[in-house]
C-alpha cells in the first residue's frame, strides 16, 4: 500500500479594508462565516463544522469575513478529527504561499486531536485576512484528495498552552432555541456588549446592547444568525424563530 502525504494548508493574506476582528471560532451551531470553495462547510448541532471535499483538486475552507490580530496572537490552537487516511501534515502559510510552520497530524482519526503552532515569521503582523484551509496531498502533486476534516475550534492566542477557560469563554448557549418571544444568550467568562440578529440574506433585523437577551417576537419564522459581541471578541450562532 502506498503512503500518502496530505497537507492541510492554511493560507493568510493581508486585508486592506476594515473587518471584524475575531481571534477564536467555536462553531456553536454556526459556520461562523466559513465557506467552502471546492467543498462544503456544514455546521453540526454538537458545535463542530465539517469540511468535506470531493472532486476539486484545490478544495479549501475559507474565512472571508473576519480578520485575526497577528501582533497580539502568535499561537494557533486547532482541534480536528481528520477522517481521511491521507492527511499527515498541517502546514501554515501566508497569502504569498510561504509556509511558516508544518506539523504532523494523525490520520483516520476516531477522536479529536489538539495541535498548536507557534507563528514566529516576520510576515505574521497586522490584521490577517482571509485565511483558508487547503487539504493537500504531496503524493497527489499537492492537490486535494477526497476526504473530511471535522473542526471543533480554532483559537489564536499569545500563549503556547491553551487553558480550558480559553476554550470555554468562546462557547455560547442560546435558549430557548427555537425561540418565540425572547432569545437568551449565555457566554462563559465574557461580558456581552451587543447582540445583533441577521436573517440569512445578511440583513440586520434586530439589535440590543449590554444585555444577554433580545426580543424576537416580531420576527418571521425561520432561521437567523445572532452575532455576539463580548469583551473577548465576536462570535456567531444560529437560532430558529418559531
Residue 52 and residue 163 in one domain? yes
The pLDDT of residue 125: 84
Q: What is the pLDDT of residue 106?
A: 87
Q: How far apart are CA 76 and CA 17, in angstroms?
A: 23
128 with 63, same domain? yes
194 forms beta bridges with 209, 229
Residues (pLDDT < 70) of the chain are 1-19, 55-56, 87, 93-98, 163-171, 188-190, 232
Domain that holds residue 207: 172-241
Does 120 share its domain with 66? Answer: yes
Q: Is residue 7 part of a domain?
A: no
Question: Does 16 fall in a domain?
Answer: no
Measure the CA dihedral 100/104/71/135, to 10°: 70
Say yes or no: 230 and 161 in one domain.
no
C-alpha cell at 12: 493568510
Are 134 and 53 in a shared domain?
Answer: yes
Question: Of 167, 190, 212, at which residue does a domain stop?
Answer: 167
Question: What's the total number of domains in the chain?
Answer: 2
* CA 198-44-171 angle, 5° bins: 70
User: So what's the pLDDT on residue 30?
Assistant: 82
Question: Is 80 in a helix, a strand, or coil?
Answer: strand
Q: What is the CATH number of the domain that holds 71?
A: 2.60.120.260
Last residue of a domain, one of 150, 167, 184: 167
Q: Which residues, in sequence order, are CB contacts of 6 under 8 Å at separation 6+?
A: 84, 86, 87, 88, 89, 107, 135, 136, 137, 138, 139, 145, 147
Residues 145 and 186 occupy one common structural domain:
no
Write out pLDDT tens, residues 171-199: 677 888 889 999 999 876 568 889 999 98
First to last CA, the chain: 53
Contact of 167 with 25, CB cutoff 8 Å: no
Is there a single domain that holds both residue 190 and residue 134?
no
Last residue of a domain, one of 129, 150, 167: 167
Amino acid at each position: 500500500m502506498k503512503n500518502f502525504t496530505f497537507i492541510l494548508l492554511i493560507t493568510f493574506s493581508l486585508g486592506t479594508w476594515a473587518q471584524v476582528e475575531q481571534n477564536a471560532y467555536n462553531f456553536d451551531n454556526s459556520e461562523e462565516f466559513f465557506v467552502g470553495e471546492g467543498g462544503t462547510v456544514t455546521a453540526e448541532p454538537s458545535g463542530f463544522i465539517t469540511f468535506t471535499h470531493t472532486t476539486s483538486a484545490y478544495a479549501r475552507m475559507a474565512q472571508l469575513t473576519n480578520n485575526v490580530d497577528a501582533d497580539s496572537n502568535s499561537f494557533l490552537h486547532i482541534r480536528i478529527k481528520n477522517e481521511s487516511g491521507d492527511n499527515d501534515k498541517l502546514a501554515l502559510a501566508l497569502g504569498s504561499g510561504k509556509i511558516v510552520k508544518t506539523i504532523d497530524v494523525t490520520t483516520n482519526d476516531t477522536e479529536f486531536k489538539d495541535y498548536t503552532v507557534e507563528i514566529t515569521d516576520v510576515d505574521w503582523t497586522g490584521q490577517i485576512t482571509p485565511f483558508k484551509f487547503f487539504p493537500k496531498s504531496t503524493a497527489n502533486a499537492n492537490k486535494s484528495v477526497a476526504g473530511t476534516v471535522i473542526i471543533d475550534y480554532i483559537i489564536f492566542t499569545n500563549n503556547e498552552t491553551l487553558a480550558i477557560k480559553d476554550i470555554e469563554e468562546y462557547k455560547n448557549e442560546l435558549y430557548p432555541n427555537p425561540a418565540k418571544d425572547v432569545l437568551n444568550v449565555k457566554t462563559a467568562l465574557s461580558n456581552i456588549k451587543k447582540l445583533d440578529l441577521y436573517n440569512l440574506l445578511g440583513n440586520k433585523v434586530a439589535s440590543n446592547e449590554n444585555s444577554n437577551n433580545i426580543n424576537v417576537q416580531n420576527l418571521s419564522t425561520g432561521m437567523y444568525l445572532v452575532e455576539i459581541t463580548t469583551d473577548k471578541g465576536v462570535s456567531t450562532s444560529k437560532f430558529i424563530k418559531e
